[in-house]
Structures are given as C-alpha cells and as structure tokens.
Amino acid sequence: MEIKIENSWKEALEKEFSMPYFPILKQKILAEKAKGKRIFPPGNLIFNAFNLTPLPSVKVVILGQDPYHGFGQAHGLCFSVPAGVAPPPSLKNIFNELRNDLGLPVPLHGNLENWAKQGVLLLNASLTVNEAEANSHAAFGWQIFTDTVIKCISEKNSGVVFLLWGKFAAQKETLIDKQKHHVLKAGHPSPLSVTLFRGCKHFSKTNELLQQQGKSTIDWKL
C-alpha cells in the first residue's frame, strides 16, 4: 500500500506513517489479500477523503465507522458511493433529512465528492474493509491513525463543525477541543436508529455555525 496523500496531510501526518503500528497495519492488509480477500476501497482511493479535502480547507467533518463492504460501493468517502451505484439505506436517510431540513430534492446519485471539495471531510474511522465483512479491519490500527487525524484538525484548524452520528462517532468527541470547535451529535442514519437521526437539522445548523464565523457555507445540493 503506497501512501499517496495530499501534501498538507502528508506534512501533518508524516510522523504517523513512520510509527511502529503503521507498517503492521500495512502487513495485515497484505495478509488479507494473500488469503484471497478482496479489499475495499481500491488502493488508489484509500486516502480519497484527504486528497479531496486538504487540511487547511476542512470546515466540516462527518465521521463514519468503516467503508461499505459491497462490490463497487466504497470510494474512500464515508457514506458516499460512486455515481451509478444505488445509495445504501443510511445514505437514503441522510438525503431524506436534507430534504426535510433544507427542502432539497433527493439526489439522483450518491456521490458526495461535491461536499468534500467544499471542505467537508468525509472520514471513516477505518479506511479499509474486506468484501462482505463489515468492520473486518477495525482492529488493524486504522483508528490510531484516524484518531490522530481528528486531533490534528482540532489542533491546527478553528471553528470546524464535527457531525457525530451514532454512539461510535460520539466517542470521538473527547479528541476535539470544544473551546475551538463545534460538535453536533445525533443518532446514526442507519435504518436501525434513524428515528434518533431524523429531525436533527444538522445541515442547516452547520451552515448557521459557518456563517456566524464569516466562513462560506456548504452547498449541500448534489
């Protein structure tokens, strides 16, 4: 797994790539491949979220748990799928909340790259997964890396809006300096907990918080 990552992130995370756990993480992924496992997303998209959203441009962070594990779904952005791939249930519920919150039409595709390019870091806690095996890489060491990413954003940026959906994401609140940043929490948009997500109005609230700081708001329309 060759590390190809946008320069601002490469500079900020350079020490992390040389930490003892990182080569072990790489070895674990290669071992899965050696067993014949198919790994998602493809290698060139593992750091897609970072490449589309440089560190200085991060205004919003949405945190997912791990990539989609169905063929063709994962492309390195949490909750997002490439155009032409049917939006999974959680993403459909996100779109329903967008419609209810902002009156936006439900998109015809599930590709969230437009959000990423506006400063929304779509970060999964684990950046890889085996096909058809949810959370299969959760213990590989990715969370050491992505926890560092969250702490890095908290330290280097200001006024970032962190959207933490579900119990897993909410645990990451301790990594964030709430004197400098904003944390919005709700249930996970999964069908299992959507009643705790529905009505959160996080999209309009995010734009209100950005506007109060004189930052450009996010155009959530896809």
C-alpha dihedral, 17 to 20 to 22 to 23, nearest 10°: 110
Rg of the chain (C-alpha set): 17
Q: Which of 66, 101, 177, 219 is catalytic?
A: 66
101 is catalytic: no
Spatial CB neighbours of 57, under 8 Å, sequence gap ≥ 6: 119
- Asked if residues 123 and 78 have their Cβ atoms less than 8 Å apart, the reply is yes
β-sheet bridge partners, residue 123: 63
Positions marked catalytic: 66
